[in-house]
Amino acid sequence: MIITLKKDARLADIETLTENLLDEGFHFETVQGHHYTVLHVLGDTTTFDAKKLYAYDAVERVINIQEPFIRAHKKNQPEKTRIAFDTFTIGDRDPVIIAGPCSIESEEQIMSVAKTVSEGGAHILRGGAYKPRTSPYAFQGLKLEGLKLLHKASKHYNLVNISEIVSVNDLPHFEDYVDIIQVGARNMQNYELLKALGKSTKPIMLKRGFGNTIEEWLMSAEYIMNEGNENVILCERGIRTFETYTRSTLDISSVLAIKELSHLPVFVDPSHAAGRWELVEGLSKASIAAGADGLMIEVHPNPERALSDGAQSLKPQKFTQLMESLQKIIAALK
Ligand code: PEP
Ligand code: MN
């Protein structure tokens, strides 16, 4: 950490600062420049709130060099996190494909999508049962009944399943019927939920909040890992910008940033980012080319009649086409 002192700092104020730094267990070197006096502070600052130093009269600027996340950081674990299932591993070379409807709507619908995505080569069946909808009047999901249908469809087609949790109260149902628990963008900073999921033995997919930085996202992963659950998968789903043509702006650079900073696998959800099915194939290819560990894609047998997110859902045939075109990108990367 580097602290620049104010030019006119009083000696007594500098001493208050340096004494408190020593009390916190830090060492420091003083560098006296022409214009500024700088303190090079040495010691582990990962759990230290550097911003609180602005409370001191003598401090002009603080630069914290160390990232505030520990368990999610590559420094702590240079090898990539791999999460193994019976037939595939997340975090291995081959991208893992999650596909399915936004919401589970009926047995017929989820069975039909499960068949499509399984035949297309997807590994994981998605389906929302507890839906965090913007409007309280919009379809809220089939809840426990939906989880049971998702479980039935995924087991029938030998797929792993994933579904979004919105409340800690529902966790027992997820433990019973769901293989991977999804935390949606809206709950990325619901710390009580994250802490509860940190005690689960299920892998957690943590989507990036649409107004959150990469550092905040990794700090949320840290909440889960700090409770003992190391199996965290990140998912970029677009962030909010001034652009309105797309639903969100897909931040492909976050895939590369996560790879620089963390050992955790990172997926991309082009469906929620784009909000339009026409863009999904191109964004999927770009994401895989950028090094994403997998994709989450919404598929519906009849998007025109979907109870949620029909505009961004692929029809079965389009999904099959996407899977075929992805193979070319995957092969080119090998
Ligand atoms: C979803 O995947 O169903 C969903 C609601 O996505 P997000 O949390 O990214 O908006
Ligand atoms: Mn959706």
pLDDT digits 0-9 by tens, 274-329: 999 999 999 999 999 999 999 999 999 999 999 999 999 999 999 999 999 999 99
Q: What percent of the chain has pLDDT over 70?
A: 100
**Same domain as 149, residue 126:** yes
DSSP for 177-191, written as a single string: H-SEEEE-GGGTT-H
Does any domain span residue 122? yes
Q: What is the arithmetic mean of pLDDT over 26-48? A: 92
Q: What is the arithmetic mean of pLDDT over 77-102? A: 97
pLDDT of residue 94: 94
**Same domain as 81, residue 20:** no
Q: What is the arithmetic mean of pLDDT over 10-16? A: 96
Residue nearest to atom 8 of ligand 1 (CA): 184
pLDDT of residue 265: 98
Please list the residues that pair with 130 across neighbouring strands: none
Does any domain span residue 29? yes
Residue nearest to atom 4 of ligand 1 (CA): 184
pLDDT of residue 83: 98
Q: How far is the CA of 272 from the centre of ligand 1 (A)?
A: 7
| CATH code for the domain of 8 | 3.30.70.1140
Whole-prediction pTM:
0.94
pLDDT of residue 35 exceeding 90: no
Task: List the structure tokens of 199.
Answer: 């005690």
pLDDT of residue 67 exceeding 90: no
* Residue span of the structural domain in which 12 resides: 2-63
Residue nearest to atom 10 of ligand 1 (CA): 185
Q: How far is the CA of 269 from the centre of ligand 1 (A)?
A: 9
pLDDT of residue 309: 98
In the predicted model, what is the mean pLDDT of the chain? 97
Q: Of the residues 43, 63, 83, which one is the last residue of a structural domain?
A: 63
Does any domain span residue 184? yes
Does any domain span residue 159? yes
pLDDT of residue 195: 98
Does any domain span residue 68? no
Q: Of the residues 63, 83, 108, which one is the last residue of a structural domain?
A: 63
pLDDT of residue 312: 98
**Same domain as 310, residue 271:** yes
pLDDT of residue 46: 83
Nearest by Cα to 230 from 259, 261, 267, 198: 198
How confident is the model over 130-173, as pLDDT tens digits? 999 999 999 999 999 999 999 999 999 999 999 999 999 999 99
268 — pLDDT class (breaks 50, 70, 90)? very high
Give the total number of structural domains in the chain: 2
Q: Is 128 in the pocket of ligand 1 (CB under 6 A)?
A: yes
334 — pLDDT class (breaks 50, 70, 90)? confident
How confident is the model over 104-127, as pLDDT tens digits? 999 999 999 999 999 999 999 999
Which atom of ligand 1 is the closest one to the Cα of 103? 3
Q: How far is the CA of 130 from the centre of ligand 1 (A)?
A: 11
**Do residues 87 and 127 lie in contact, with contact meaning Cβ atoms separated by under 8 Å?**
no
More confident of the two residues 319 and 47? 319
Enumerate the H helices of 127-200 as residue ranges. 144-156, 171-177, 191-197
**Same domain as 310, residue 249:** yes
| CATH code for the domain of 249 | 3.20.20.70
**Same domain as 266, residue 239:** yes
Does any domain span residue 69? no
Amino acid at 251: D
Q: What is the arithmetic mean of pLDDT over 37-52? A: 92
**Same domain as 150, residue 25:** no
Does any domain span residue 99? yes
Residues 6+ apart with CB under 8 A from 331: none
**Same domain as 286, residue 265:** yes
Does any domain span residue 183? yes
pLDDT of residue 235 exceeding 90: yes
Measure the CA–CA gap between 199 and 95, rounded to whole angstroms. 27
pLDDT of residue 202: 98
Q: What is the arithmetic mean of pLDDT over 16-32? A: 95
**Same domain as 280, residue 210:** yes
**Do residues 37 and 3 lie in contact, with contact meaning Cβ atoms separated by under 8 Å?**
no
**Same domain as 196, residue 274:** yes
Q: What is the arithmetic mean of pLDDT over 239-267? A: 98
**Do residues 305 and 320 lie in contact, with contact meaning Cβ atoms separated by under 8 Å?**
no
Q: Give the gyration radius of the chain's Cα atoms.
A: 23
pLDDT of residue 47 exceeding 90: no
**Same domain as 113, residue 29:** no
**Same domain as 83, residue 58:** no
**Same domain as 94, residue 24:** no
Q: Is 272 in the pocket of ligand 1 (CB under 6 A)?
A: yes
Q: How far is the CA of 103 from the centre of ligand 2 (A)?
A: 7
Residue nearest to atom 9 of ligand 1 (CA): 185
Q: Which long-range contacts (CB under 8 A, 24 or more apart) does 285-290 make?
A: 285/325, 285/326, 285/329, 286/250, 286/252, 287/236, 287/250, 287/252, 287/255, 288/95, 288/326, 288/329, 288/330, 288/333, 289/329, 289/333, 290/252, 290/255, 290/256
